[in-house]
Structure 1
């Protein structure tokens, strides 16, 4: 029986955080000086992750994305990737990364079975990147992107969180950069998750979408690329596309097919709500596979109908990095 929530949505996509640590401090994600990280003893082990992902896969959740924090800070991540890629039912394994470590790991990740990458890049300007990310790492990110190309990753998606008064003036430059290189640009509205998210320059993407459509001759496209929430616009000649992720101005809750598992085994059912389910006690308490699968079905029943980012922007106090990207 498909894994469905109370509203008839079929869950097929698990975003799996393997660490809440990050080597950057992006202004909308994690505050400078933050030190409230999970203790390593509370992280799910590779064995626990494999068991739990296997249970999700048996219930029809075939898409798994490795996230963080910055997932490449988790030691031996390609080993875990290989174990997950080999699980029956996992048919799409992908990774979100800030790419600062990617030049050292791209080939191993590809060999392990990761097929798609989402790379965060909020600006093409080195000084601005340092201001947004809290670290001068722009050259490392570009080197990571080059290594991903050399390793054969295709498609490569570039995620740009658009902030008014911060980087919205270079959206067209970023689109040209990505379209020229065959990357898929995804523009993302800043979400009010934690104090950092609320303090960022929130901007609705509608006017930018119209501007990009005129400049690059984009038309709405019926594309489904990776099972995520982006709505894609494609060049009329088919030579490239740009995705728009609009949780504020045009939410996609009615078709939400995903849940997020934090590094400590907490399953969050919605970015904009507090419903959650703790799996670590079950995993460390001797639960068998049937009990894990039953617990997953109970957890999915908690998934709310929609977020309340507009109505209650101050509701979520946890930071994005604590939830999992």
Structure 2
């Protein structure tokens, strides 16, 4: 088992496979996109598989494939299938915007993907267009319904943004009345690639819950699984559930078991740190597996206590979520 310097067991790798995305959500990147990485700057599939295998040998047992948008990377299914066969990896999940998901669902189900997180910030076509700057609402909703039919465990990730989608909170919650889906409301974070000025949020986890309770006073608190990022609840008689992720107020750092590898191969031991080491450059300089293991251990033993400490040391607080790896 693998632990950091605060005694937290590390079990979960979030692997960013590309910084590219076919949407332009304003809270993630500028309208004209980012200075996307050249292919040579991004980890190859072989490099990703090697790092994942080494981490699995050290105790990581869950992988989430993220982006950018994972399915814009060519031959991504090959990587997903290969990672699912690595000894020690017991769970492979994916986060996607759903625009290109349906064609891959049969293969994903055959591989045995454990869960898919669908990024969806509203249930209104016009608001979707304003948020994403792309007219893909119908494709995403088709993906949602296909996921419901597939039986694959599904979560919806909705970033809560004042003046943009507050009116969608209750309709999102009500999806759980008829569907076995978990809707997670995420506090907005500053990772927008400099696309807009970020101001401290007012719609934090407490405010989101109070808003829901104003419509459904008998919301039931559910047990939170170990190392859960969300505070979990259920509407009366609902088939599904909802959770609230305090990503900005950071009240869940004490149990964090996650690490991130960005598409460029930088390790982030916290979402809010600036990237502590380039494993891409280390591997391409000829590092052995044992040298890579030792470097991971060194970095894990110097992990920030929480997101606030990590942010103080970060040189790029406005980095885009697409470059971080979800």
- Give the TM-score normalised by structure 1: 0.92
- Tell whether 2:249 aligns with 1:249: yes
* 1:267/1:148 CA distance change after superposition, 3 Å: same
Distance 1:271 1:296 in 2: 17
**Structure 2 match to 1:120:** 119
* Alignment correspondent of 1:279: 279
Give the match's secondary structure for 1:199: coil
Q: Is 1:63 paired with 2:62?
A: yes
State the match for 2:46 in structure 1: 47
Matches within 5 A, 1:136-151: 136-151=135-150
- CA distance in 1 between counterparts of 2:306 and 2:271 reads 9
Give the Cα separation in 1 of the matches to 2:277 and 2:22.
Answer: 28
Equivalence for 1:288: 288
* C-alpha separation in 1, matches of 2:103 and 2:125: 21
Residue 168 (structure 1) aligned to one of 144, 157, 166: 166
Q: Quote how far apart the aligned CAs of 1:88 are.
A: 0.7
Change (3 A) 1:118 1:172: same
Q: Does 300-309 or 115-124 show the bigger shift?
A: 300-309
CA separation in 1, counterparts of 2:294 and 2:152?
36
Shift of 1:42: 1.7
Structure-to-structure mapping, 1:1-325, within 5 angstroms: 2-154=1-153, 156-194=154-192, 195-196=194-195, 198-199=197-198, 202=201, 203-213=203-213, 215-216=215-216, 217-224=218-225, 228-235=228-235, 237=237, 239-249=239-249, 251-308=251-308, 316-325=317-326
Contact 1:71 1:77 in 2 (8 A): yes
Give CA deviations for 1:162-182 in whole Å, capped at 9, x if unaligned.
Answer: 101110122101110233211
Whether the 8 Å CA contact 2:250–2:306 is kept in 1: the answer is no
Distance 1:73 1:44, change over 3 A: same
SS class of match (2:13): strand
Return the alpha-carbon distance in structure 1 between the equivalents of residues 70 and 264 of structure 2: 14
Conservation of the 8 A alpha-carbon contact between 2:179 and 2:240: no
Q: For the structure 1 residues 186 and 198, does the alpha-carbon distance in structure 2 shift closer, same or farther, using more than 3 Å as the test? A: farther
- Identify unmatched segments of 5+ residues in structure 2: none
Partner of 1:148: helix, strand, or coil? helix
Residue by residue over 1:258-297, the C-alpha shift from the partner in whole angstroms, topping out at 9 and shown as x without a partner, is 1111111111122222241110122223322222211211
Q: CA RMSD in A?
A: 2.3
- TM-score of the superposed pair, with normalisation by structure 2: 0.91
- How big is the shift at 1:214? 5.2
Q: Measure, in 1, the Cα distance between the counterparts of 2:122 and 2:213.
A: 20
Give, in angstroms, the shift of residue 200 of structure 1.
7.1
State how many pairs are aligned: 322
| Runs of at least 5 residues in structure 1 that lack an aligned partner in the other structure | none
| Separation in structure 2 between the aligned mates of residue 151 and residue 253 of structure 1, nearest angstrom | 33
